[in-house]
Structures are given as structure tokens and as C-alpha cells.
Amino acid sequence: MVDTSVKLCGIMLDNPVIPASGTFGFGYEFTRFYDINVLGSISLKGTTKEPRFGNPTPRIAECPSGLLNAVGLQNPGAQAVLNNELKTLKRVYKKPVMANVSGFSVDDYVSTVEMLTGDEGIGWFEINISCPNVHGGGLAFGTSAEGAAKITKAVRKATDKPIIIKLSPNVTDIAEIAKACEAEGADGVSLINTLLGMRIDLKTKKPLLANKTGGLSGPAVKPVAVRMVYQVYEAVKIPIIGMGGISSAEDVIEFMLAGAVATQVGAANLVEPCACKRIIDELPAVMQKYGIKKLSEITGGAHNG
């Protein structure tokens, strides 16, 4: 018998598989496919203080081994999430969830966290300082250690709940930024967000996305993500959530060996709605295959020796 449970910032998860923000809505939408209570947790759709329509269409472009997206944080706003989305989710999901928060200023982040922090269903806040698809917000804070530290320090004062800072791969030294977040009170970091990319339509000779650029996700980014998780693990002592191209139980184990405590599944949900359930179902057999009895014990295993 194997043990798939892990602990994330003091909260136990039945397994380390979490749908990534932006690829799973607010969770309850997937109840038509399976019982979502099998999930370790859910990272909710990115939420801003005010409602956002998002970027103009087209917003999605397929690529070899992945896709580009420039959705632009479309969401109903923090108050609607509190009044409607979280209440609906609680009817079908009985575990703590991760509220993903974005903003365009320090005050935006703080206000949104303050609005949501009283909800007992929220176990963690995932602070997105790394969205590449919104002009003037998110990524502007995540590309420098100073900006990341500023957001972390402000949000730390706004809630007693664990805060996990979501980091951008579109930087020179992601480990330096992770260390800055840790120094200002972050309880964890999650990485990576999408890599900035572009596709051009040969017929129109124009970018396929209305936003011109978008975030690349899917299997194509996995080697970059594993490398960055490995580097950040050596730089900080706080927990890491690893993500980027995960589509199998083997991928989960690889990220954990690199240094992740838990993992998030993103693009796979868009092409296979039951991807997370399948990965969770696969985990025990894959653990047995590699002689792993307790999953929580393998975090950082690739650094030994």
C-alpha cells in the first residue's frame, strides 16, 4: 500500500495533484465529468478586484506540443467570486481551495486578498505576479526581485492564511526572485507560469492572437519548468508547487524529485477534462514501479548525491 498524501504549508492533501488556475474554471464545472473530491486541491480561476472581460479574441493558438493563450484574466471580480462561485463550489467540493489573485497595483492585490480572506473554504492564496497576457499588471511585478518582494510584503500583512507566490519563467534568475519572496514572508512559491510566445498566420501575415503574444503551456515547456523548480529548491526553504506540461503520474514524480511538494496540471485539462483524475488514479501503480512507498518523502530526491 502506498501513501500519496503530502503537506502544503501545513495543510494535508490526499495527493499532490491540483488543477492549475485558468484551466479548471472554479472547479464545479468539472463535476459533470467526475467527483472532483479526488483532487488534492483546486487553484481557482484568477481573480481580480473588479470584473474583467479579458483580452479580445482570438485568444488561443495551438502549437506543437502545447498552446498559446492570451485570455487576459477574464473573471467576474472578487465580490462575485465570494458571493457566487465559492458558494457553488462548496456544495460539491469539501476540501480547502487555493484562491488565485492578480492585480494591477499593490492596492489591487491587497484589497482582493482582504475581500476573500474571511472565506473558510480558502486554504491558501496563490498570488499571481507572473501573468504575461495583461498589459500593466501581474508580470510587471514578477520580473524583478524588488517588485516581487513588494507585493509579497504587502499581501503578507493582509491575511493570516498561507501565501504562495506564482513566479514567471520570463526572467533571468528565477531563484533570486524566489529568495526575495521568501525573505518578505511568502509561505511558498509556485512555478512556472507560461513562457511568452507568438505565432504568425502565414495567410494574413499577422500574429494569430489579437494580443499578439501569449503564454506558452503544455509539454513543450516541461524541461524548462523542471529545471527552474530544481534551481529554486536549492535557493529557498519554503515549499514549491511545480507545474508546466504535466500530463502523467510520471511527470508528477519528476517534478517532486526536482523539489516540488505538490504539482499543478494546466493545459492537459483543456484537452482532456479527466486528466487530473487519470493522473491520480495512475499514481499508486507508478509509485510501486519506482519503489516509492510514501510520496512526500521524494521531494528534492534528485538533489541527493
131 is an active site residue:
yes
Which residue in the list 131, 181, 274, 276 is annotated as catalytic?
Answer: 131
Which residues face 197 on adjacent strands? 214
Catalytic residue numbers, as ranges? 131
